[in-house]
Amino acid sequence: MSVAMAKWLGPGGRVYATDIGAAQLAEIRALVTQDAVPNVVVLEGAGSSTNLPNDCCDAIFLRDVYHHLTRPTEFDASLLASVKPGGRLAIMDFPPDPGSAVPAGVPADRGGHGIPASVVVAEVTRAGFRHLTTMTRWPPDGDRDRLFLVMFEKP
Protein backbone atom coordinates (compact mmCIF):
# COMPACT_ATOMS: atom_id res chain seq x y z
CA MET A 1 0.00 0.00 0.00
CA SER A 2 2.82 2.42 0.82
CA VAL A 3 4.39 2.19 -2.63
CA ALA A 4 1.03 2.47 -4.38
CA MET A 5 0.10 5.53 -2.30
CA ALA A 6 3.50 7.15 -2.92
CA LYS A 7 3.11 6.72 -6.67
CA TRP A 8 -0.44 8.09 -6.54
CA LEU A 9 0.62 11.14 -4.51
CA GLY A 10 3.65 11.81 -6.67
CA PRO A 11 6.84 13.63 -5.70
CA GLY A 12 4.93 16.39 -3.89
CA GLY A 13 3.53 13.99 -1.31
CA ARG A 14 5.10 11.98 1.47
CA VAL A 15 4.14 8.54 2.74
CA TYR A 16 5.25 7.18 6.10
CA ALA A 17 5.35 3.38 6.21
CA THR A 18 5.62 1.83 9.66
CA ASP A 19 5.76 -1.65 11.11
CA ILE A 20 7.11 -3.26 14.25
CA GLY A 21 8.61 -6.32 12.59
CA ALA A 22 12.17 -6.31 11.23
CA ALA A 23 11.24 -8.61 8.33
CA GLN A 24 8.28 -6.44 7.35
CA LEU A 25 10.39 -3.27 7.52
CA ALA A 26 13.04 -4.89 5.32
CA GLU A 27 10.36 -5.91 2.82
CA ILE A 28 8.96 -2.37 2.71
CA ARG A 29 12.43 -0.89 2.22
CA ALA A 30 13.15 -3.36 -0.60
CA LEU A 31 9.90 -2.48 -2.37
CA VAL A 32 10.58 1.25 -1.98
CA THR A 33 14.02 0.77 -3.56
CA GLN A 34 12.74 -1.58 -6.26
CA ASP A 35 9.97 0.82 -7.29
CA ALA A 36 12.17 3.93 -6.88
CA VAL A 37 9.72 5.92 -4.77
CA PRO A 38 11.83 8.42 -2.83
CA ASN A 39 8.78 9.95 -1.13
CA VAL A 40 8.36 6.99 1.26
CA VAL A 41 9.82 7.30 4.75
CA VAL A 42 10.09 3.93 6.51
CA LEU A 43 9.92 4.07 10.31
CA GLU A 44 9.96 1.39 12.96
CA GLY A 45 6.81 1.59 15.04
CA ALA A 46 6.31 0.32 18.56
CA GLY A 47 3.60 -1.48 20.49
CA SER A 48 2.46 1.73 22.14
CA SER A 49 3.40 4.33 19.51
CA THR A 50 3.40 4.99 15.79
CA ASN A 51 6.75 6.78 16.23
CA LEU A 52 5.49 9.30 13.68
CA PRO A 53 6.16 13.01 14.16
CA ASN A 54 3.34 15.08 15.67
CA ASP A 55 0.87 16.57 13.17
CA CYS A 56 2.72 14.95 10.24
CA CYS A 57 -0.14 13.21 8.48
CA ASP A 58 -3.22 14.30 6.58
CA ALA A 59 -4.41 10.72 6.82
CA ILE A 60 -3.39 7.41 8.39
CA PHE A 61 -4.46 3.99 7.18
CA LEU A 62 -4.16 0.77 9.20
CA ARG A 63 -4.93 -2.55 7.51
CA ASP A 64 -5.26 -5.79 9.52
CA VAL A 65 -3.25 -4.17 12.32
CA TYR A 66 -5.62 -2.90 15.00
CA HIS A 67 -6.62 -6.34 16.29
CA HIS A 68 -2.95 -7.00 17.15
CA LEU A 69 -2.49 -3.91 19.35
CA THR A 70 -1.42 -4.84 22.86
CA ARG A 71 -1.61 -1.27 24.16
CA PRO A 72 -4.47 0.32 22.21
CA THR A 73 -4.99 3.28 24.56
CA GLU A 74 -1.39 4.47 24.16
CA PHE A 75 -1.31 3.65 20.45
CA ASP A 76 -4.55 5.54 19.79
CA ALA A 77 -3.13 8.59 21.61
CA SER A 78 -0.08 8.36 19.34
CA LEU A 79 -2.33 8.17 16.26
CA LEU A 80 -4.17 11.28 17.42
CA ALA A 81 -0.90 13.17 17.92
CA SER A 82 0.35 12.13 14.45
CA VAL A 83 -2.71 13.30 12.51
CA LYS A 84 -3.14 16.97 11.62
CA PRO A 85 -6.35 18.68 12.81
CA GLY A 86 -9.08 17.77 10.32
CA GLY A 87 -7.07 14.73 9.22
CA ARG A 88 -8.53 11.29 8.74
CA LEU A 89 -7.89 7.86 10.19
CA ALA A 90 -9.04 4.74 8.34
CA ILE A 91 -8.92 1.36 10.06
CA MET A 92 -9.56 -1.78 8.02
CA ASP A 93 -9.77 -4.99 10.01
CA PHE A 94 -11.91 -8.09 10.46
CA PRO A 95 -14.33 -9.40 13.07
CA PRO A 96 -13.05 -12.10 15.42
CA ASP A 97 -13.10 -15.67 14.22
CA PRO A 98 -15.57 -17.57 16.44
CA GLY A 99 -13.75 -19.84 18.85
CA SER A 100 -10.32 -18.49 17.96
CA ALA A 101 -7.77 -17.37 20.52
CA VAL A 102 -7.00 -13.73 21.18
CA PRO A 103 -3.36 -13.06 20.17
CA ALA A 104 -0.88 -12.93 23.07
CA GLY A 105 -0.91 -9.64 24.97
CA VAL A 106 -4.03 -8.32 23.24
CA PRO A 107 -6.96 -7.21 25.46
CA ALA A 108 -9.44 -10.02 26.12
CA ASP A 109 -12.49 -8.03 24.95
CA ARG A 110 -11.66 -8.78 21.30
CA GLY A 111 -13.62 -12.04 21.30
CA GLY A 112 -11.00 -14.03 19.41
CA HIS A 113 -8.51 -13.38 16.62
CA GLY A 114 -9.88 -10.20 15.06
CA ILE A 115 -11.84 -7.32 16.58
CA PRO A 116 -15.44 -6.13 16.51
CA ALA A 117 -15.86 -2.82 14.70
CA SER A 118 -17.72 -1.52 17.76
CA VAL A 119 -14.60 -1.98 19.91
CA VAL A 120 -12.52 -0.06 17.37
CA VAL A 121 -15.04 2.79 17.43
CA ALA A 122 -15.19 2.88 21.24
CA GLU A 123 -11.42 2.90 21.71
CA VAL A 124 -10.55 5.35 18.96
CA THR A 125 -13.26 7.85 19.90
CA ARG A 126 -12.13 7.62 23.52
CA ALA A 127 -8.70 8.78 22.29
CA GLY A 128 -10.27 11.94 20.83
CA PHE A 129 -11.15 11.09 17.23
CA ARG A 130 -14.64 11.70 15.84
CA HIS A 131 -16.28 8.63 14.28
CA LEU A 132 -17.42 9.31 10.72
CA THR A 133 -18.69 6.00 9.39
CA THR A 134 -18.42 2.24 9.63
CA MET A 135 -18.65 0.16 6.47
CA THR A 136 -19.36 -3.40 7.57
CA ARG A 137 -18.15 -4.86 4.28
CA TRP A 138 -14.99 -3.56 2.64
CA PRO A 139 -14.65 -3.12 -0.19
CA PRO A 140 -18.41 -2.78 -0.61
CA ASP A 141 -18.48 -4.73 -3.87
CA GLY A 142 -15.58 -7.04 -3.07
CA ASP A 143 -15.69 -10.77 -2.67
CA ARG A 144 -13.91 -10.73 0.70
CA ASP A 145 -16.77 -10.11 3.10
CA ARG A 146 -14.66 -10.46 6.23
CA LEU A 147 -13.19 -6.94 6.23
CA PHE A 148 -14.75 -3.78 7.63
CA LEU A 149 -13.60 -0.17 7.35
CA VAL A 150 -14.03 2.45 10.07
CA MET A 151 -13.36 6.12 9.32
CA PHE A 152 -12.50 8.82 11.87
CA GLU A 153 -11.53 12.48 11.85
CA LYS A 154 -9.33 14.47 14.20
CA PRO A 155 -11.26 17.52 15.40
* Chain segment 55-80, per-residue pLDDT in tens: 999 999 999 999 999 999 999 999 99
Residues 67 and 142 in one domain: yes
> Residues 16-26: pLDDT tens digits?
999 998 999 99
Same domain, 113 and 132: yes
* Separation of alpha carbons 93 and 116, rounded Å: 9
Per-residue pLDDT for 121 more than 90? Answer: yes
**3-state helix, strand and coil shares in percent for the chain, rounded to the nearest 5:** 30, 25, 40
Q: How many domains does the chain have?
A: 2
Decide: 82 and 52 in contact? Cβ < 8 Å: yes
pTM of the model as a whole: 0.90
Region 7-32: what's the mean pLDDT?
93
148 and 104 part of one domain: yes
* Parent domain of 53: 48-153
Report the CATH number that the domain containing residue 121 is assigned in CATH: 3.40.50.150
72 upstream amide cis, omega within 30 of 0: no
- Is the link from the previous residue into 98 a cis peptide, with omega within 30 of 0? no
User: What is the rounded end-to-end Cα distance, in angstroms, of the chain?
Assistant: 26
Q: Residues 30, 52: one domain?
A: no
